[in-house]
C-alpha cells in the first residue's frame, strides 16, 4: 500500500465523527451526494510534488529518500437552501481544522500537515457553487526511493 493511501486513510479517520458531519465522510469527489448525506465531507488527494533528498550512502545500500508534499483536498458540502449556509460551511471548516491540528503527523506517517488554503467551489462558468468550500491541506512526508510503501 502506498504511503499516500495510508495518509489518506489516517486523514479520513481524523475528520470522521465531527459534530456537524458525523460519519458522512466520502472518499472521492465523484460520489453522488443524496439529500440525507448533507452536511458532509468529500476527501481526496490532489497534486503531489516529489524531491530527491541527497541523504544516504548508496555504497552501504542506503538509497536516497523522497520528500513528498501531498495536497489533501476536503470538500465541505451543505444544502445550499439551508439558512445561513455560509456560516454552516465555516463551522464545519473550523471543526476540520481543529481535528487535523490535533495530530498533524497523522499517526506518525507525516512530517506535518497544514492548511494551505480554502476557496469557494466554482462551476464551469466561474460562478460560485452555494454551500461548498474546498480546503487544501499540504502534507509533507518521506518515502524510500523506489519503495513508495515504505515511510522513512
First-to-last C-alpha distance (Å) of the chain: 15
Give the CA count within 13 Å in the CB-facing half-sphere of 30.
0
Per-residue confidence (pLDDT) for residue 58, from 0 to 100: 46
Summary mean pLDDT of the chain: 89
Question: Which residue, 17, 38, 13, 39, is CA-closest to 27?
Answer: 13
Nine cell digits for residue 24: 458522512
Task: Please identify which residue in the block is written with the cell numbers 468529500.
Answer: 42
Contacts of 11 (CB under 8 A, 6+ apart): 43, 72, 100, 106, 113, 137, 139
Domains and CATH numbers, the chain: 3-49+70-136 (3.30.70.1700)
Select the more confidently predicted residue: 79 or 9. Answer: 9
More reliable by pLDDT, 139 or 35? 139
More confident residue, 27 or 125: 27
Q: What is the pLDDT of residues 19-66, one digit of tens each?
A: 999 999 999 766 678 888 999 999 999 999 999 987 655 444 467 899
Amino acid at each position: 500500500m502506498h504511503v499516500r493511501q495510508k495518509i489518506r486513510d489516517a486523514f479520513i479517520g481524523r475528520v470522521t465523527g465531527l459534530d456537524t458531519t458525523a460519519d458522512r465522510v466520502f472518499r472521492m469527489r465523484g460520489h453522488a451526494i443524496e439529500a440525507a448525506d448533507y452536511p458532509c465531507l468529500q476527501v481526496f488527494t490532489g497534486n503531489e510534488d516529489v524531491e530527491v533528498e541527497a541523504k544516504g550512502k548508496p555504497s552501504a545500500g542506503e538509497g536516497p529518500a523522497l520528500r513528498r508534499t501531498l495536497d489533501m483536498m476536503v470538500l465541505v458540502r451543505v444544502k445550499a437552501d439551508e439558512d445561513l449556509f455560509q456560516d454552516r460551511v465555516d463551522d464545519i471548516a473550523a471543526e476540520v481544522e481543529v481535528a487535523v491540528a490535533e495530530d498533524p503527523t497523522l499517526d506518525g506517517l507525516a512530517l506535518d500537515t497544514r492548511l494551505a488554503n480554502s476557496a469557494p467551489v466554482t462551476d464551469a462558468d466561474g460562478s460560485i457553487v452555494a454551500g461548498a468550500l474546498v480546503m487544501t491541506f499540504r502534507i509533507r512526508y518521506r518515502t524510500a526511493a523506489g519503495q513508495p510503501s515504505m515511510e522513512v
